[in-house]
Amino acid sequence: MANATPRDTRAGFDIFRSAGGEISLDAVNSGLEDAGYGPVSPRTYAHYRSLLAAGFERYVSINRFDVARAATPFENASASPRYAYTAMDVGVRVIFAKSNRLLETFGRATEVGEVGAVLRFDDPDVVEGLRQLKPQPGDMVTVRYLEIGRTEDGRVVDADAKSTPAVIEIEYAHLLSIASFEVGQPLANAEARFVLTGPVSDQTLDVTSRRIYHFFELIEGIRALSNRVGAKQAQPVYAEPPVLRSLSVASPADVVLLLAQQVQDLIPWALVGGVLKAAAALPEKRKQWYEGTGQKKANQLKAHELREKELEVELKDLEVAQAKQEVDLREAILARVRATFVGSEMGDEELSRVIDEFLVPPLRSLGRAGIDSVVAGDLETGDDVSGVS
């Protein structure tokens, strides 16, 4: 069977959806053939069922569907490189819940992190019980860390019960501080205020939630950077998950967090504004360029072509300016990291990769969401400290 084209697969889904999913693959392909389309594969047919079950009324490709389903913001955090695991050996009592069955087991946590843990089970009876239970991703668990007297709820994200020992990875319901595991010396927290401003006055839920989400992602990226560097000191340190003290989403947005001081100090907020402005300017300039190309008039052709070239130059200049702003910001962060975490063994190349992975994407997204300035102020004095370098 020849590969179906996107046109074929869209038409096939229309036939499938019109029948309410009550139609065979052969019938779908027969309908496609009658309408002049190519046939679809069993895999595509199975995808149609997934789309219909998920409530889709239009065709979305398999890759887009899989990525979208895996990109739930507050799940699958255990798959993010932002949250590292630390080797550990802690006794655990685990209760697995599957349908109407419960299985109580004892094992060891061999790796722990803020997002979850890797559990190992050596006892043959326990391994046999897990094989019969067949834990799957999504199954609920409750874990009791015996040595530290701590109980947490979570869910299975990966399971290998066929091997001996059996290994199960779990993800917590939310981020947890791992200070009680003595992974590193906890850094002292202090209240910090951030004011987010921008020219866009849109306060719809969509825009507002994007801005706050991307800002919090930026803060978590900075904290991840701090923890990566702090873990490679002779005396490791650890910044706990921030706590939200207050939040006002009116323009400007006002956020107060309880956050490790060292994390606050890593970012030169005055330079952040430059990156945000550059990120916000590019979409508008591209819009001008595209709108210009669609407004040609015969008697204004030369003038239009001249303006089009000017816009192309301006667009390239903005892209260069954004890249330079990001380079300047990266160099400033590197300098602050070295000054804050003296003696850390993390090299500049690895630091740069962490910055590019954890800080630059949310900064760009924040700019595109209409924020062009983040002012960090001293909560007690109200002084603007964003320009301190």
Q: What's the confidence (pLDDT) of residue 259? A: 95
Q: How many Cα atoms are found within 13 Å in the side-chain-facing hemisphere of 259?
A: 27
Task: Identify the pLDDT of residue 301.
Answer: 47
DSSP letter at 182 equals T
Per-residue tens of pLDDT for the chain, all 389 residues:
567 898 999 999 999 999 999 999 999 999 999 999 999 999 999 999 999 998 888 899 998 888 777 767 777 788 888 898 999 999 999 999 987 889 999 999 999 999 999 999 999 999 999 999 999 999 999 999 999 999 999 999 999 999 889 999 999 999 999 998 888 899 999 999 999 988 766 778 888 899 999 999 999 999 999 999 999 999 999 999 999 999 998 778 999 999 999 999 999 988 888 888 887 765 555 555 555 554 444 445 455 555 555 555 555 656 667 778 888 889 999 999 999 998 899 999 889 999 999 999 999 899 888 898 899 875 444 444 443 33
Q: Are 96 and 113 contacting, i.e. CB atoms less than 8 angstroms apart?
A: no
Instruction: Determine contact, residues 376/387, Cβ cutoff 8 Å.
Output: no
One DSSP character per residue, 195-207 reads EEE-S-----HHH
Query: For position 302, what pLDDT does the model report?
Result: 52
- Tokens 């866009």 correspond to 200
- Smallest CA-to-CA distance from 226 within 246, 211, 241 is with 241
Q: Which residues contact 82 (CB under 8 A, 6 or more apart)?
A: 220, 221, 224, 357, 358
Q: Which residues contact 256 (CB under 8 A, 6 or more apart)?
A: 191, 192, 193, 194, 244, 245, 246, 247, 379
Angle at 161 between CA 157 and CA 165, to 5 degrees: 110
pLDDT of residue 88: 93
Residue 288, number of CB atoms within 10 A of its CB: 15
Domain parsing of the chain, residue ranges: 6-70, 78-181, 188-378
Q: Which CATH number fits domain 78-181: 2.40.10.220, 3.40.50.720, 3.90.45.10, 3.50.50.60?
A: 2.40.10.220
Question: The tokens 């490791």 sit on which residue?
Answer: 236
Task: Say if CB 93 and CB 152 are below 8 A apart.
Answer: no
- What is the DSSP track for 8-36? HHHHHHHHHHHTTT---HHHHHHHHHHTT
Query: Does the CA dihedral 24-26-31-35 come out positive or negative?
Result: positive
pTM above 0.75, yes or no: yes
* Buried-state track 11-41, b at ≥16 Cβ within 10 A, e below 16: bbbbbbbeeeeebebeebbebbeeeebbbbb
